[in-house]
Amino acid sequence: MALNNPISMPAPMPRARAITLALLGATCMSFAALFVRGLETTDGRQILAYRGLAQGAMVALVACIIRGISPWRFVTTLDRVDWLAGVAMAFAFALYIFSLLNTSVASTLLILSIAPVFAAVLSWLWIGEKPTFITWLSIILALCGVAVMVGAGIDLGRTTGNLLAIGSAFSFALMLVLARGSGKSDLLGGNFLGAVLAMVAMGGLAIFSGDAGLTVSAYDLLLLLTMGAFTIGLGIAFVAWAAPNLPAAEVSLLILLESVLSPLWVWIFLGESMSIYEITGGTMLLASVAILVSMQRSAQRSAQRSAV
């Protein structure tokens, strides 16, 4: 049934502004790991519950402002794709936090950068977009980079955290493919539901199976709400706002800034340095993604020239 009052979508923004928003969003998100390291609690269920509360509220607020609609209108127009993307994002958020609690920030963030490579494979299997020769080279290089970090993590007792980061990257890639197949103009609905689903699931687990339930210190509560609203919530909202105005490959490249800055912040403020294996594997990963998105962008430009 058609809606009588369709949602008003934002007008296209200038390219320079879209790039600025994407970079600003990646910078905001890069502080999340520093916040997690600064918490007194190491209970991932508590972290996800309170972070999800603030994140969901911030994403909903930004969506209402961008679309010019009420909160009720935003919630009641969430569709099947939003729910599927939300489930994928909930897994991505949860696995990301538990990865940070079980391995280094550098390993988590650098492994997460493999998401565009996973997205390329999923697009091939699901949508039928066959990878090119360069894409296969990028995939092999990325897998070698992950293997270096995961292999080193076995000796350092970080295997669980590294595997969780791989799972988070896969879940995020699944969300990207869902969004691409749907033709949606932004991902704010899925991000909102991802935060809410993670909050409800992990909050419930904390209450019924955690020793402390949802009890955290006032310091942790402030940190968690700030992290949810401004590092993750606002960061993701900025990226989702910019994404419809830029090629997907370019957005993937721009948000790699998060993977570069996150380890830098924890090294500057907390002294958590990177190992030679993380530097080597991370360099291979970032190079593979840069090659992949550069080739995708070139292909898009060629297609546009052919269509003219």
Interval 191-232: pLDDT, tens: 999 999 999 999 999 998 867 789 999 999 999 999 999 998
CA dist 211 and 43 (Å) reads 10
CB 86 within 8 A of CB 194: yes
CB 246 within 8 A of CB 70: no
Coil/strand/helix, residue 12: coil
Nearest to 257 by CA among 112, 58, 59: 112
Interval 178-196: pLDDT, tens: 876 776 767 789 999 999 9
CA 19 to chain CA centroid, Å, is 17
Tokens of 302: 């060629």
Provide CB contacts within 8 A for 262, sequence distance 6+: 30, 31, 32, 33, 34, 105, 106, 109
Whole-number average pLDDT of the chain: 83
Please report, as a single letter, which amino acid is at residue 270: L
- pLDDT at site 55: 95
Which residue matches tokens 């209450």? Answer: 207
- pLDDT at site 6: 45
Please give the model's pTM, rounded to 2 decimal places.
0.84
Asked if pLDDT for residue 241 goes beyond 80, the answer is: no
Asked if pLDDT for residue 1 goes beyond 90, the answer is: no
Nearest to 35 by CA among 248, 288, 286, 219: 219
Cα–Cα–Cα angle for 213, 215, 217, nearest 5°? Answer: 155
Residue with more model confidence, 274 or 38: 38
CA dist 308 and 181 (Å) reads 24
Nearest to 112 by CA among 93, 127, 125, 131: 93
Which residue matches tokens 């940190």? Answer: 223
CB 75 within 8 A of CB 25: no
Residue with more model confidence, 301 or 283: 283
Please report, as a single letter, which amino acid is at residue 44: G
Domain boundaries, the chain: 15-303
